[in-house]
Amino acid sequence: MDLQLTGKRAIVTGASRGIGLAVADGLAAEGAHVALVARDAEALDRAAERVRRHGTTALPCPADTRDDAAVRAVVARVVAELGGVDVLVNAAARPASSGPVPPLAELTDDALREEVETKVLGYLRCARAVAPHMAAAGWGRIVNISGLNARRTGSLVGSVRNVAVAAMTANLADELGPAGITVTVVHPGTTVTERTEKLLADRAAEQGGTPEEAARAMAAGTSIGRLVTAREVADVVTFLASPRSAAISGDAVAVGGGSRGVIHY
């Protein structure tokens, strides 16, 4: 299937590593020009060099999505250098498994405030900055990377931020749809990235087992019996970012390998 992404101009946040980098690489493989956004300039340069192997433009744009002026400057640069922006993939957020989950008595206001500032407001800032350009062109795709904590308990902060992203997605889809812009949210579960080896080692140390045992335990709740890779998440996101996904907007797509014993309808 031709995803019809050749020549499209995309912005991917959180693109220096993990799912964001895999998405940037996947879009470039389909012929899109990609602006990679992240805070770490050195890591971003390395990521852009990797993405360039597909022969399209890979533009590193160091920026912090918590800063509205920085977000608007990135979009202005992309429009000036690439001629416009057709696709936005929001992936700039701290992974859900990056720290222990505190009990209510130890949960501070700032713990939630920081996550909302980055993942919810950061995504909103990027969407707000690109929407006028997409609307003027009469076409656009916005894909928000959220997470399966939106559908389960266990992390109050993770659930709140991810549910908020899903709610924002549906509202933006309704508002922007008449302008030819679809907005979707993708919910990864635990995903194999460059962080996985350390994550499994830490889990094994906590539980007194081996990294292999930790991996099997983490994968036990999936329908496919294994963890999904960043590349596999990116495949779904790349489709949603394409003209072929016109029938999907405002909805959430889970990409965690299936949740055993759960029905969503």
pLDDT digits (tens, 9 = 90+) for 13-58: 999 999 999 999 999 999 999 999 999 999 999 999 999 999 999 9
Q: ∠ at Cα 26 (255, 53), nearest 5°?
A: 155
Whether 224 shows a pLDDT value over 70: the answer reads yes
Q: Which of 73, 75, 47 is nearest to 60 (CA)?
A: 47
Nearest CA-CA partner of 36 in 71, 62, 56, 18? 62
For the entire predicted model, the pTM comes to 0.95
The answer on pLDDT for 100 being more than 80 is no
Q: What is the pLDDT of residues 227-236, one digit of tens each?
A: 999 999 999 9
* Alpha-carbon gap, residue 257 to 229, rounded angstroms: 10
Angle between helices 121-137 and 68-82 (to 10 degrees): 30
Confidence of residue 197 (pLDDT cuts 50, 70, 90): confident
What's the pLDDT at 99?
62
- Judge whether residue 97 has pLDDT over 70: no
Interatomic CA distance for residues 27 and 242, integer angstroms: 9
Q: pLDDT, tens digit, for every residue of 115-166?
A: 999 999 999 999 999 999 999 999 999 999 999 999 999 899 999 999 999 9
Strand partners, 228: 191
Question: Per-residue DSSP letters for 192-242?
Answer: ESTTHHHHHHHHHHHHTS-HHHHHHHHHTTBSSSSPEEHHHHHHHHHHHTS
Q: Are 64 and 94 in contact (CB under 8 A)?
A: no
Q: How far, in whole angstroms, is CA 145 from its chain's centroid? A: 3
